[in-house]
Chains A and B, each alone.
Chain A
Amino acid sequence: MTELLLGTKKGLFALEGDVGPGEFEITCRAFPGEPVDFAMRDPASGRVLATVTSPFYGPKIWFADDPGGDWTQAEGVALPEGGEQALERIWVIVAGEDGSLYAGGDPGVLFESRDGGENWQLNRPLWEHRVAEDWQPGGGGLCLHSIVPWPGEPDKLAIAVSAAGVWLTDDHGENWRRGNRGIRPRYLPDDAPEDTLQLCVHRMERAQRDPERMFIQFHGGVYRSDDAGQTWTAIGDGLPSDFGFPLALDPSDPDSAYVIPLTGDFDRVMPDGSVRVYETRDGGATWAPRGDGLPDRESYLTVLRRAFDRAGEGPGLQLYFGATSGDVFGSGDAGATWFTAATRLPPVFSVTASS
């Protein structure tokens, strides 16, 4: 049995089901009517955490033992009072390596919780970078959307911000350094400074079995790093478009990556109205379309950056993605074949899977 937690424009949907033909069952809907940006189940505590940005009352993190149970508002999810900035949104929550939880949000902020998500603390060293360097937002805001722990090394962390690039720490967030060498944004002039921070990373992931291997889906470009995010090599050749948002990896294979290309930043739907996931198993040297069971015509879908997740690994790797159309698709065989997990939901902002 696999559980999907879907953050949507109109609430959190929890689904359960088995891979294969037939839709998953909606087991509950929480926060009806509220935009739920992200939801996940903490593997350490078993709790469910959700980030909700009420258009009226602002962004909050909530936690519950069960998505259908009673939700409690977490404490500390705010910027320092009296400043010039207000918290706009929490984009993602990720489990760290030592039982901690990390939350990333707009405007370029990182929070950490050491008590299972009840209380959160702002990472001030990163915040000081953000204030001193005047980070600029992308189209979706100044979003810290990717938080990538290092397996077995709780002090090492990588984060990605749209649009302030990749940042790395080796001392649990006390000090941060940039990790952007080799990224070439096509939306800046050729003579833009090489150390520009206006780098619109859309999603970043790390290979679990080879932690120095990382991948990013950029705002025009897919990149691979073999040195833990210090330098990046473009690997987008062979894709119908190197523009897209989400990214997923097979934990068993450091050479693997899955992306979902969109036509371009000028037309953010799937090319030719055909729903396709693209897979590499050689570190981005070649890409192959995976669409058996997916709509292949008149389907102009958009998949957002956190709306793609996986469970398991290897030949039984499960992949799930949700579209702003309200459709959710899944695969139980590493992308070889696909099934429809849900339809007619509100626009899907995020997908997390656990089995």
Chain B
Amino acid sequence: MALVCLHGPLRNLAGGRPQQEVAGTDVQAVLRGLEDLHPSVAGWILDERGTIRRHINVFVNGERGGEQTAVCAGDRVEVLPAITGGA
């Protein structure tokens, strides 16, 4: 299980907890697992293609990752809005 950390509206959509355990072997699978646990999150982080939205950053143990970045048990997956959201 990875430890998924959420902020802002994502945290509210995912039950209000700052972090929670989610199964998955890569970032995309973990985020899909998060959607299964909390259907309201669907469409907020991953789009219909399964792609991380352009202005969302996902970090695995502090390093920026992509959809296919491997995730191991105990890894910390943190989802944050990027600084590129526009004026």
Contacts and interface: CB of A to CB of B under 8 A. Distances in A.
Q: Are A and B interaction partners?
A: yes
Interface of A: 55-58, 60, 73, 77-87
A84 to B, nearest CB: 7
Interface string B54-87: 0110000000000000000000000001101110
Contacts of B40: 73
Contact of A56 (B48, B51, B55): B55
B16 interface: no
Main secondary structure of the interface of A (DSSP, over half): loop
18 contacts: A55-B55, A55-B84, A55-B86, A56-B53, A56-B56, A57-B43, A57-B53, A58-B43, A58-B44, A60-B43, A77-B43, A78-B43, A82-B50, A83-B49, A84-B49, A86-B47, A86-B49, A86-B51
Interface string B24-55: 00000000000000001001110111110101
Nearest to B47: A86
Contacts of B43: 57-58, 60, 77-78
Nearest to B86: A55
B85 A78 contact: no
Contacts of B85: 55-56
A77 B44 CA distance: 12
B74 to A, nearest CB: 27
| Size bracket of the B interface | 10 to 19
In the complex, the 5 A-B pairs of residues with the closest C-beta atoms, listed nearest first:
A55-B85, A86-B47, A56-B81, A57-B44, A79-B48
B48 A78 contact: yes
B49 A56 contact: no
A251 B81 CA distance: 45
Interface centre among B10, B47, B85, B86 (most CB of A within 10 A): B47
B48 A57 contact: no
Contacts of B47: 58, 86-87
Nearest to B54: A55
Contacts of B51: 86
Nearest to A60: B43
A274 B48 CA distance: 44
Contacts of A81: 48-50
The CB with the most chain B CB atoms within 10 A, among A77, A78, A81, is that of A81
A100 B53 CA distance: 31
B48 A87 contact: yes
B14 to A, nearest CB: 13
Given A58-B47, A73-B40, A86-B48, 14 more contacts: A55-B85, A56-B53, A56-B55, A56-B56, A56-B85, A57-B45, A58-B53, A77-B43, A78-B43, A79-B48, A81-B50, A82-B50, A86-B51, A87-B48
A65 to B, nearest CB: 20
Nearest to B8: A56
Contacts of B10: 57
A355 B51 CA distance: 43
B32 to A, nearest CB: 10
A100 to B, nearest CB: 23
A60 B43 CA distance: 9
B53 A82 contact: no
B59 to A, nearest CB: 15
Nearest to B53: A58
A254 B85 CA distance: 44
A80 B9 CA distance: 24
A86 B51 CA distance: 9
A290 B81 CA distance: 46
Contact of A82 (B44, B48, B55, B82): B48
